[in-house]
Amino acid sequence: GKARRGPATKVAHSRSYPRGVGLDFKKLPSLTLMSYIDHHSVPVRNEAPPSEIAVAVARHFEAMEVDEDTVINGFLARLSAGQELGPLVPPPSQRLHPSHEYDRYAAASADYARSTAFFDGHAPGPLARRRRRSKNAARPAEQVAAKITRTNENGSWILASVQRFYAESETYDVQDEDDTSKLIRLPWTHVMRLSKGSEGCFAKNTRVMAIFPETTSFYRAVVSKEPVWKLPKGSTTPVVKDLILKFEDDEDIEGRTPHRRVPSRYVIPLPEAYFHEDDDDVDLVPIKYGTA
C-alpha cells in the first residue's frame, strides 16, 4: 500500500493552537516536527503546511499522559545504551582484531543504539523507517552505487546515476554510467549513496567496497593505511580526499597485493553495514557471547 501521513479517510484538522501548551512548536524546524509526527504516528494531511503540522503536534502533545518515572528511567536507559546494549561484535578474546579496533566497533555500536532507539527500547517502526528512507533517498542526477545482479558476487555493484526515486514503491530508476541508453528499475536495497569523504568510518583495516581504478565497478577491499584528514579552504569540516586500499583477488604474480589509491567518494561501506538500520532491531538488553 501507499505510505501516507494519515489514514485513507479524510483527516480532520484545525489551525487553532491549543491554549494549554506553553511550548511554541511553530518555531521548530519542519524536519523536527515531521520526526515527531513519524514517531507518534500523528495523522496529518499530505498537503498540510508547516503551521498546520505544528498545531497537530501541539494538540497531540497536550493530550499525552506522561508518567514522570517512566520518562526519567527511559532517558537514563538511553544514555547508558552503550553499556546495556554491549558491543555488536564479540569481545577481543574471541576475535582476531586488536583491542583498539574492538573499542572502535563498541563505540560505534553505542552510537547506533543512542541514535536509533526510542525510550521504550525499540527500533523505529516500518512507517517511520519508510519515511526516513524517502527523506534520505538519492536525488535525480546523483551518482550512486547500484546492484544490477541477483547475486552477491564481487563486482555486482556498479557506478550509476539516479533518474528518479518512487517513494510509494521505494524503487529507483537508474542509468549505468557506462551505458545511458536504458533505465534500470531497482529496489531501494540495491542503491547506496556515495561517500562525502567526511564520514570518518573508514579507519585502517575497515572492510569496504570501492571502485577499482580505471573501471566503474565496485569491488571488496580493505583500507590498508590510516586516512589522512585535511581541512579544505573555507570549510570547517575535515575530509579525506583519497584512501589507500588493498582489493580482494588483486595479487600479482608473486602473490603480493598492491596498495591502490582510490578517491574517498568511491569508497563505501559493505551493504550489510550500510543497510544495518533495517536489519537490526535495537534491544536494550546485554548481548551474551558464549556460555558462562
C-alpha to C-alpha distances, 283 to 41, 54, 74, 83, nearest whole angstrom: 21, 31, 13, 12
Please name the residues in contact with 232: beta carbons below 8 A apart, sequence gap of 6 or more: 239
Nearest alpha carbon to residue 45 among 1, 4, 15, 2: 4
Mean pLDDT for 212-232 is 92
Mean pLDDT for 153-178 is 93
What are the grid coordinates assigned to 163, written together? 533518474
pLDDT digit string (tens) for 236-287? 888 889 999 999 999 999 999 999 999 999 999 888 878 765 434 444 444 4
pLDDT of residue 283: 41
What does the DSSP 8-state code read for residue 125? P
Do the beta carbons of residue 256 and residue 196 sit within 8 Å?
Answer: no
Share of the chain above pLDDT 70, in %: 68
pLDDT digit string (tens) for 168-180? 899 999 999 998 8
Would you say residue 84 has pLDDT above 60?
Answer: no
pLDDT of residue 73: 64
Would you say residue 199 has pLDDT above 90?
Answer: no
Do the beta carbons of residue 218 and residue 193 sit within 8 Å?
Answer: no
pLDDT of residue 70: 65
Q: Average pLDDT of the chain?
A: 75
* Cβ atoms < 10 Å from Cβ of 113: 24
pLDDT-wise least confident of 36-40, 152-156, 183-187, 266-270: 36-40
